[in-house]
Structure 1
Amino acid sequence: MKDSKKQRGLSLIELMIAMVVSLVLVAGVGTVYMSSKRNYHARDQLSLMDETARIALNALTKHLEHAGYATPTKLPMGEYMYPLGGATPPKAACDGTNSGVHPSLNLTTFAARAAQDNYKPDGVTVTGDAVSVRFLGDPALFTDCANGVLPENCRVGKAPSMEAAFIYNTFFVNESTGHPTLMCFGSRNTSATPIVNGVENIQFLYGVDANADGNVEQYLNATAVSAASAWQRVISIKAGILVRSLEPVLPVAEAKSYDVLDVTLDRNDRFQRSVYTTVIHLRNVVED
């Protein structure tokens, strides 16, 4: 009898207690695992957002600061900002086969993407502002924002006219590519080129030197600059971008507002977002 009692199994109550304890432990481990997975995913998306912002702001800085470049001899190139309503870029021939502006470029489309507030790339949805600049191509600087190469015969020194040597660059955001994407449209290409995915909105303010002292007196949006006829006095550009995670991160939709320069953008979804800004100095248009 003593041996029989020693070999007796668990009672029903003991078994139920063990099951409850096991369930609690499994639930705890599962909660920690899911929380760690979400945190890792959020950190991964945040890292990608930082990289997106770096690429976008570097591209904007690199190409917009070319505005007004007129070779080291500072040729009289005229307008360096290309605002909405400006004259359509000419297709000036270089040698009968090449032209500074790509021969197949739809200049009407290009002109519609000139510097403006509240640009609608699809004609319906506002994705922020658009900005457009121009400069002269020479042996030292001859590519547009999409790495389109200005033919040698079109560069300053060989081109038969200044119009043949102009390079135009436009930046805007497009959402019809699957992800919101920063786009560039260069005058040496026939269509817009994606720069980086994840840029959901872009805003620009233009630093105006009102008294020609080489300093910015005020920052204005494109509408205000046009109203003041001040495009020839713009010496810097503030760029602000709203970058969105490529995948939903938050467990539930959250309503948030984001201040991007002079506008406030409201969002209500599961995506993570951050605002990044930079100031681009137009060194070529400031007198030495």
Structure 2
Amino acid sequence: MQQCKLPSRQKGFSLIELMVGMTIGLILVAGLALMFANSSQSGNELEKSIRQIENGRYAVELLQEEISLAGYYAEIPLHGIAYSSPAACETSALGFSLTTLPMPIMGIAASNVSEICLTDRLANSPAFVIHRLSAEGAPSNPASAALGTTYVQSSRCSADGVPFKAATAGSASAFDLKAIDCATTNPQIRRYVSRVYYLASCSECGSVSDGIPTLKMAELRGTTMVVAPLVEGIENMVLEYGFDTNADGQPDVFQTNLSTTAGADKWDNVVAVRLHLLARTIDRSADYSDSSKTYQLGAASTVSGDASGFKRRVYTSTVRIVNEAGRRETVSYKPASSP
């Protein structure tokens, strides 16, 4: 007679086996956590660099457009017109007369601290001012002009006796120059634009400063210079002005000195600007130092890095002042050769 075999009893894990299993699991979890942390840190550093690049490029593009439009005076005939030099923060004596217009571009030396509208200006940093008429969109109509704002109206009728008029909107007779029919009023006026670009030591500069170097703009709005932050992380700016010494519309020499005397370095001879910006990341990077690096901002300016943990990058661009350079150009015509 065959004997039945009883089934064996189920046994659990021993304490040693459980401890070994838990140890292996913890090692795997630690490895995954380390991998996640490294991946997250790399993502954060990449985000910082991308933001820095975007800020630097945007700052260059913004200043390129503004510089290229300097001296845009629309229909005003510039023959016989001289340039005046109003203070950068001027809000009333703007430099308009029958024979003068505000200078297209003027530099403000790093040592010049008299411009009080440039609030929280970064120490030892230059600035520059742009004067022009609005080029964005269609000209305004006198009936819809913003009260207290300065506009310029051109005359299209020789009987007016004056080529243009600068006036503050607010009275019906402020803009009375005639259209081409010499009977109706010219319905087009353009807003006067006066902007100062400079570097500030902070973006939010209240009672507690955030300490982020920022490109800012002080703009004439009505009778007040209003400051607005534009791009964070711009900590250094160098401008080399291209002077035209032979009146052909081309820069013959670039220099940073800001003399206003007559000659090659007179401001109304500036036809181009070579712009250098040093942008940094907004947030620090742990264990990062660029103290062994130097950054070249033009031929005569070198900036050394430091151990603050900020990553930096230089952006350079040469901008032609189209309105000033274009009217200086001379075109020579060569007669066609006979067949």
TM-score normalised per structure 1: 0.71
Task: Find the counterpart in structure 2 of residue 49 from structure 1.
Answer: 52
Please state whether the residue corresponding to 1:241 is helix, strand or coil: strand
Three-state SS of the structure 2 residue aligned to 1:23 is: helix
CA gap 1:19/1:139 in 2 versus in 1, 3 angstroms: closer
Q: Is the 8 A contact 2:89 2:225 kept in 1?
A: no
Helix, strand or coil at the partner of 1:170: strand
**Would the alpha carbon gap of residues 25 and 139 (structure 1) be closer, same or farther in structure 2, given more than 3 Å must change?**
closer
Q: Whole-Å Cα distance in 1 between the matches of residues 91 and 119 of structure 2?
A: 22
| 1:91 correspondence with 2:93 | yes
Q: 1:49-103, CA deviations, whole angstroms, 9 ceiling, x for partnerless residues? A: 23222332222122222222233433554338x69x8896753699xxxxx99xx
Instruction: Give SS of 1:269's match.
Output: coil
Note the 1:7-18 alignment, pairs <5 A. Answer: 7=11, 9-12=13-16, 14-18=17-21
User: Which of residues 215, 221, 226 in structure 2 aligns to 1:191?
Assistant: 226
Unmatched 5+ stretches in structure 2: 1-6, 156-162, 169-190, 205-209, 330-339
The corresponding residue for 1:251 is 286
Greater RCO, CA 8 A, separation 6+: 1
**SS of equivalent residue, structure 1 residue 190:** strand
Among candidates 213, 216, 235, match of residue 200 of structure 1: 235
How far apart in 2 are the matches of 1:197 and 1:174?
9
Contact 1:206 1:221 in 2 (8 A): yes
**In structure 2, distance between residues paired with 1:274 and 1:190:** 31
Q: 1:34, CA displacement in angstroms?
A: 1.1
Report if aligned partners of 2:151, 2:167 keep a CA contact under 8 Å in 1: no
Q: In the aligned structure 2, how far is the partner of 1:123 from the partner of 1:8?
A: 73
In the superposition, relative to structure 1, how do residues 172 and 92 fare at CA in structure 2: closer, same or farther (>3 Å)? closer
> For residue 64 of structure 1, what is the aligned residue in structure 2?
67
Kindly report which structure 2 residues correspond to 1:1-288, keeping only aligned pairs within 5 A, or say none: 3=8, 7=11, 9-12=13-16, 14-72=17-75, 73-79=77-83, 90-91=92-93, 115-117=108-110, 125-126=122-123, 128-136=125-133, 154-157=151-154, 161=165, 167-176=193-202, 177=204, 178=210, 179-188=212-221, 189-223=224-258, 229-248=265-284, 250-256=285-291, 257-261=294-298, 262-286=301-325, 287-288=328-329
When you count helix as a share of all residues, which structure comes out higher?
1
SS in 1 for 2:25: helix
In structure 2, how many angstroms separate the alpha carbons of the residues matched to 1:141 and 1:220?
36
Paired residues of 1:204 and 1:239 also in contact (CA < 8 A)? yes
CA-to-partner distance for each residue in 1:186-238, whole Å, 9 max, x for gaps?
Answer: 22343212222222222211112233333223321144787963322211111
Q: Secondary structure at the match of 2:225?
A: coil
* Cα distance change, pair 280–92 in 1 and its aligned pair in 2 (3 A): closer
1:252/1:269 contact within 8 Å kept: no
Aligned to 2:188: none
Alpha-carbon contact 1:92-1:161 (below 8 Å) kept? no
Aligned to 1:107: none
User: 1:104 maps to which residue?
Assistant: none
Query: Take 1:19 and 1:118, find their aligned partners in 2: how far apart are those partners?
Result: 68
**TM-aligned CA deviation for residue 37 of structure 1:** 0.7
Partner of residue 106, structure 1: none
Identity of counterpart residues, as a percentage? 19
Deviations 1:253-275 (A, max 9, x none): 41334333333143322233222
User: Which amino acid is the alignment partner of residue 56 of structure 1?
Assistant: A
CA 54–136 in structure 1, closer or farther in 2 if over 3 Å, else same = same
User: Offset of 1:8 from its aligned partner?
Assistant: 5.3
Q: State the partner residue of 1:110.
A: none
CA offset at residue 122 of structure 1?
5.9
Aligned partner letter, 1:216: P
Taking the aligned partners of 1:93 and 1:186, their CA distance within structure 2 comes to 16
Structure 1 residue matching 2:108: 3-state secondary structure: coil
The aligned amino acid for 1:42 is: E
Larger Rg: 1 or 2?
Answer: 2
Name structure 1 gaps, 5 residues minimum.
Answer: 95-99, 102-112
Q: 1:70 touches 1:77 (CA, 8 Å); kept in 2?
A: no
